[in-house]
A and B are shown apart, each in its own frame.
Chain A
Amino acid sequence: MALREEKLLEDYFHKLSLEAERVPGSRIHANVRLALHKRSEHAKKLWKKRLWTATTAVVITVLLVVAAGSWMGEGTGLRSALSSFAKTVPLKAYQAILTSDTTVSSAIKAGLMQQVGVSSLEKEGHVLTIDGMAADAMGIIILYSIDNKSEQITKTHQMSLTDSKGAVVGSELIGMHQNLRSGTTLNVTRLTWTGEANNLPDEVEVQLELAKSAGNDQQPVTPEQLINLSVPIKIDKKAMEESGQSIAFNQPLTVAGQTIHIKQVYAGVTGIYVETAYDKNNTQDIFGMLNPRILLGDESEYQGFYLPQRIRKVGREFSVFSNDSTNPNAPLRLTVDGIYALEPSKRELVIDTDKQQILKAPDNALTVEVVQDSAKQQLIVLKHHVTDRNKLSREGNLIMNMSFKDGKGEVHEYDQSLHSFDLTNLFESKQEELNKTGLNLYLIGKEKLPQPLTFTLDSYPNAIKDVRTITLR
């Protein structure tokens, strides 16, 4: 029979263990990582001890862990490292709002996301706190909260990472404009390094722009409407380079008789990056792959990651897919349904805007209208007729080069921002048509131009179906 003291002890420790479980593993992780850093910093700073006073700036050192190494963060403020951890939004709170974002939620689950808790100075009632980070050789995930103490609704505008001269070294993969009401708003962003990770400076600045004009996304934000918040962080380039898995893959993928070189595959905490290059001897100009997806797992059980972002860095092109960091060694396959491409000679689009006629086009799916507003501005409405509108974006986009030539060979540029053109009537009258038509709008100014106008297609949804799969890992 258990002694009464034993029973009391068991009950007491059981309650304590429940309390201890409340602390996120990532916070323990961060503190353990911090230990060796503090040790080495202590040794370095002993000789400087006299320079430290209680009222001078205290450097907050935070430890950010990347897949296999560590990432150092640093910000200014009058808080100790531990108290900063205590005040940050716990990663669990982010986990709850990230159910559909496998890359970020799996990074948290895998313990790769590091709790941070470094805040900016307050500006116009707004404080930015970096709550969590994870980085690899290609980019960085940042979990951040914004405390809006003002009465006004603002919105997130743009986040970037800059060096000491203000040059951008990291840019957002997908920009999100989120309204910020009074209180604390959580946000997540993925940024990619604009250059090679080993060329990054030792310290970068997280720059967040908030826009005061919430609501109207159509109007451009002026510099006067921006609130700039920044947090400096130090980075451990070596650790970032060592993180993730770089898969040397120099095998071509042949789709519809065209060659796509898969030059590099990198799987890290921020995503799966597939570098592609189209062979110069292809007979088609390829604009992109049809429905490319990464299949993570074996053939009987796998996850599919669709709709990659495409980025260009240092002259190289990457498709960026999501990743599941809880499954780092699973087989990896790339599947495409084909390509969208055109023969080089078919990339020219010739339009007579006076007669509202298309004189030359890749196929018969295009028609054109030219409309004017009260200020006599001319708007080209290029309609792409499809049988299934849902296929429009999946089978490539119609993108025209900004520059075009008039009938006398003079070069002009169209304006696609359309801020000055009232589109209300246009969309109201064409609502029904929009269901089966892709509308492309190009503002070409008030001047009557010599006809015809010759445009170049930088991308066109000409799907060439050919399903192919290659094993990457």
Chain B
Amino acid sequence: MESIMKVQTANTGEEEAFMQMVLGQQRLLYGIAYSYLRSEADALEVLQEATCRAWTKRRSLKDPARFTPWLIRIVINCCNDELKRRKRVLTVKPAEPDNNMMEMRSDLRLDMEQALDGMKPKYRQVLVLKYYRDMTVAEIAEILDRPVGTVKTWLNKGLKHLRGKMKIKEEA
């Protein structure tokens, strides 16, 4: 990663080098944003916002080798900000056909979405990285810059929260 950044910085300028590094992870970043927001337009907008923030804060990244975990963290923060904003703003949204491929959403899926939306962001991010991106606890710890033990705790609490929500639904 570092060597790539150096070479590209020399060749095409810092902005282009930065851009290439972001673009190299675009699918991963978009996937994470989509898992939070479940809307293409919102996920793309958050990706833009995250790219902007990352560019602005690039000097704070001391170790270029940690660029990807750092960027993922920014994307997650942007997603959380967007979710907070949504809670503040009551919007009336028309039903959006997703690329004309409307999908019947099952009750189970809606329950899962509600459970995730109602979860603390720190638990949710661990679940997303583990079950959506198939990351190990160690990798998640690196991304979130937290000890492995903390990640394990958040993971367990996230699953517990989910269990509680889904159980309540089942009982109801």
Interface residues of A (CB under 8 A from B): 3-6, 8-10, 12-13, 15-17, 19-20, 22-23, 25, 27-29, 31-36, 38-39, 68-70, 82-83, 85-86, 111, 242
What residues on A are CB-neighbors of B19 within 8 Å?
32-33, 36, 70
What residues on B are CB-neighbors of A25 within 8 Å?
26-27
Which residues of B145-165 have CB atoms within 8 Å of chain A's CB atoms?
159, 162-163
In the bound complex, do residue B131 and residue A6 qualify as a contact, i.e. CB atoms below 8 Å apart?
yes
A374 to chain B, nearest CB (A): 59
B125 to chain A, nearest CB (A): 13
In the complex, 7 of the A-B residue pairs with CB atoms within 8 angstroms, ordered by the A residue number, are A5-B162, A16-B34, A17-B132, A23-B34, A35-B52, A69-B16, A70-B19
In the bound complex, do residue A23 and residue B55 qualify as a contact, i.e. CB atoms below 8 Å apart?
no
Beyond A13-B128, A20-B43, 17 additional contacts (C-beta under 8 Å) are A8-B108, A10-B131, A12-B112, A12-B131, A13-B132, A19-B38, A20-B30, A22-B98, A27-B44, A28-B26, A31-B45, A32-B48, A35-B51, A36-B19, A36-B55, A68-B16, A69-B12
A25-B26, A31-B44 are contacts. A15–B109 as well, Cβ < 8 Å? yes
In the bound complex, do residue A86 and residue B41 qualify as a contact, i.e. CB atoms below 8 Å apart?
yes
What residues on B are CB-neighbors of A111 within 8 Å?
23
The 6 closest A-B pairs by CB, nearest first: A35-B51, A35-B48, A13-B132, A20-B34, A9-B131, A31-B44
Q: Tell me, yes or no, whether B82 is within 8 Å of chain A by CB.
A: no
Rounded to whole angstroms, the CA-CA distance of A2 and B123 in the bound complex is: 18
Rounded to whole angstroms, the CA-CA distance of A279 and B47 in the bound complex is: 55
What residues on A are CB-neighbors of B38 within 8 Å?
16, 19
Which residues of B121-154 have CB atoms within 8 Å of chain A's CB atoms?
127-128, 131-132
What residues on A are CB-neighbors of B2 within 8 Å?
none
A6 to chain B, nearest CB (A): 7
Interface residues of B (CB under 8 A from A): 12, 15-16, 19, 22-23, 26-27, 30-31, 34-35, 38, 40-41, 43-45, 47-49, 51-52, 55-56, 98-99, 101, 108-109, 112, 127-128, 131-132, 159, 162-163, 166
Residue of B nearest to A83 (CB): B41
In the bound complex, do residue B30 and residue A23 qualify as a contact, i.e. CB atoms below 8 Å apart?
yes
In the bound complex, do residue B48 and residue A5 qualify as a contact, i.e. CB atoms below 8 Å apart?
no
In the bound complex, do residue A38 and residue B52 qualify as a contact, i.e. CB atoms below 8 Å apart?
yes
In the bound complex, do residue B52 and residue A19 qualify as a contact, i.e. CB atoms below 8 Å apart?
no
Summarize B's interface: helix, strand, loop or mixed.
helix
Partner of A31, one of B48, B55, B127, B163: B48
In the bound complex, do residue A22 and residue B99 qualify as a contact, i.e. CB atoms below 8 Å apart?
yes
Partner of A19, one of B34, B41, B47: B34
A32-B19, A34-B48, A82-B44 are contacts. A6–B159 as well, Cβ < 8 Å? yes
Rounded to whole angstroms, the CA-CA distance of A35 and B31 in the bound complex is: 17
A2 to chain B, nearest CB (A): 10
A18 to chain B, nearest CB (A): 10
Q: Which of A13, A68, A85, A242 lies at the interface centre, i.e. has the most chain B CB atoms within 10 A of its CB?
A: A13
Partner of B166, one of A8, A20, A23, A70: A8
B11 to chain A, nearest CB (A): 8
Rounded to whole angstroms, the CA-CA distance of A27 and B131 in the bound complex is: 25
A28-B47, A86-B41 are contacts. A5–B163 as well, Cβ < 8 Å? yes
Partner of B31, one of A20, A29, A31: A20
In the bound complex, do residue B99 and residue A9 qualify as a contact, i.e. CB atoms below 8 Å apart?
no
A6-B131, A15-B109 are contacts. A28–B30 as well, Cβ < 8 Å? yes
What residues on B are CB-neighbors of A3 within 8 Å?
159, 163
Residue of A nearest to B41 (CB): A82
Residue of B nearest to A16 (CB): B35
In the bound complex, do residue B159 and residue A5 qualify as a contact, i.e. CB atoms below 8 Å apart?
yes
Q: Which of A16, A27, A83 lies at the interface centre, i.e. has the most chain B CB atoms within 10 A of its CB?
A: A16
What residues on A are CB-neighbors of B22 within 8 Å?
32
What residues on B are CB-neighbors of A5 within 8 Å?
159, 162-163, 166
What residues on A are CB-neighbors of B34 within 8 Å?
16, 19-20, 23
A13-B131, A17-B31 are contacts. A39–B12 as well, Cβ < 8 Å? no
In the bound complex, do residue A16 and residue B132 qualify as a contact, i.e. CB atoms below 8 Å apart?
yes
B85 to chain A, nearest CB (A): 17
Rounded to whole angstroms, the CA-CA distance of A286 and B13 in the bound complex is: 44
In the bound complex, do residue A29 and residue B159 qualify as a contact, i.e. CB atoms below 8 Å apart?
no
Rounded to whole angstroms, the CA-CA distance of A34 and B23 in the bound complex is: 12
Residue of A nearest to B30 (CB): A28
Rounded to whole angstroms, the CA-CA distance of A261 and B128 in the bound complex is: 60
B99 to chain A, nearest CB (A): 6
Partner of A9, one of B15, B23, B43, B162: B162
Rounded to whole angstroms, the CA-CA distance of A242 and B20 in the bound complex is: 15
